[in-house]
Amino acid sequence: MTGLNQNDLINLNKIYHTNTASLHFIYGASKSGKTTFIRNFIVKKNILYLSFSSMLAKVQFPNIALNIAKKFNIKTSYQLYINFENILLLIDELISDEKIVVVLDDFDNLLKIDKTALEILIKIWSENLKKKNIQMIILSSVKFDDNLTKKITKISSFNFNMQKIYFADMIQKADAKILEKIYIYSCLGSSNHILSSYDKKLGFIKNLYNISMNTLSPFYNYGIDYLKINISDTATYATLLYAIAIGNNKIGEIALYLGVNSTYLTRYIKKLQDLMIIKKELPLKDKQKFSKLGRYHIEDNFLKFWFCYIYPNKISLDMKKHTPIIKHIDNSIVENIILPIYKELIKKLLKDNSLALLDYELSHIGSWWDNNGNNIDVISYNSKNITFIKVLWEQSDITEQEYDNLKIISSNYKTNLKRNYIIISKNTYLNNF
């Protein structure tokens, strides 16, 4: 199963069956499933698949030209193809009237050796390729800058970001009860590669140990290996991700924890955002790009778990001292890992079932907070109604007190809509799921 909604696959197939040229950009962090998605799409299609690596241009481009020649069964002096423009012009020369899908995978690797590659692509597409019966798909693990993104939007047909699989879409991957699946999803994420190591005969904690804490596991160094794909200075970025993973989500909190100025972090934060490793969340209704209220979160669930628990305990784990770490995980995992993901699951449940659960079709949903320490887990609203929601893991004797507090805190959110208040506990979610 891929990380994209089935609708994206349907849309790409619809465009494929037209007689017009189309250009698509698919963005997604490393290991997000872009290539797997494309493999599903290109089945039984006329396909030219090219993948770029961190190889010197004088070696890489002739090799790519050779692969193109093999595809079209021609002989060519492939050593003459020494740059990306040569490659695109060769493709333009060889494709016929028959529909063809051309995939350029790992485009971010190409940008490492030719920073003008995207401008070249835009130029050749606009002048030549858009006149052909071609569907060109670009896969990238790096977001492009705003100016290039605007240019891309003008010439491309259908672009999208890979999204991690929603919990409801991945629960078939592990034979377990719903509650355990919440734990699995929150800690291990939704990657087929990782979940295939989950042994349904063992308990959750034992699986967590086998996958993340066993020094023989292929995922034992997951966080550092993940960073090394696109980052050379792993130490700085790893420390920053550790700070975020343990709950320092605002730029000021991160800076204070690391003992540096906020301005020092700017380029590191941007790099992690460009690589789609972290995302910035704003309070509901706050649309300011540079808002100081932004909170940063690690996108990959397993990556967050790894930096929260494995990274700071590597020395102990290397020495096989697992027991204190497992005990620490058992005592803190709900607060650190499960609860934040659980709140996102609540939002998804409400978004998909708002009429049944809220008695109205919502138009907006999100979280809200301000600089005065006020925080509301979930707010949903439409043109007439607004609902303020407190999310609890366990329902307890203080639920009524939490309800009163929710009313008080929500008074700081200014609105003329009809106000509603709800407390949602774990049992509420499980019953409605």
pLDDT single digits (tens) 23-71? 999 988 887 778 888 888 999 999 999 999 988 888 899 999 999 999 9
Count other C-beta atoms under 10 Å from residue 245's C-beta: 24
Task: Determine the 3-state secondary structure of 296 from DSSP.
Answer: strand
Residue 13 has pLDDT above 60, yes or no: yes
pLDDT single digits (tens) 309-342? 999 999 999 999 999 999 999 999 999 999 999 9
Q: Where are the beta strands (DSSP E) in 99-214?
A: 100-105, 134-140, 160-161
User: Lowest-confidence range among 54-68, 95-109, 418-432?
Assistant: 418-432
Domains of the chain: 6-161 (3.40.50.300), 167-332 (1.10.10.10), 353-432 (3.40.1350)
pLDDT single digits (tens) 186-224? 999 888 789 889 998 999 999 999 999 999 999 999 999
Count other C-beta atoms under 10 Å from residue 163's C-beta: 16
The partner residues of 388 in beta bridges, in order of sequence, read 379, 421
249, 127 contact by CB (below 8 A): no
Task: Determine the 3-state secondary structure of 391 from DSSP.
Answer: strand
How many whole angstroms separate alpha carbon 269 and alpha carbon 282? 15
**The pTM is what?**
0.84
Q: What is the mean pLDDT of residues 375-397?
A: 92
Output the pLDDT for position 301: 94
Residue 431 has pLDDT above 60, yes or no: yes
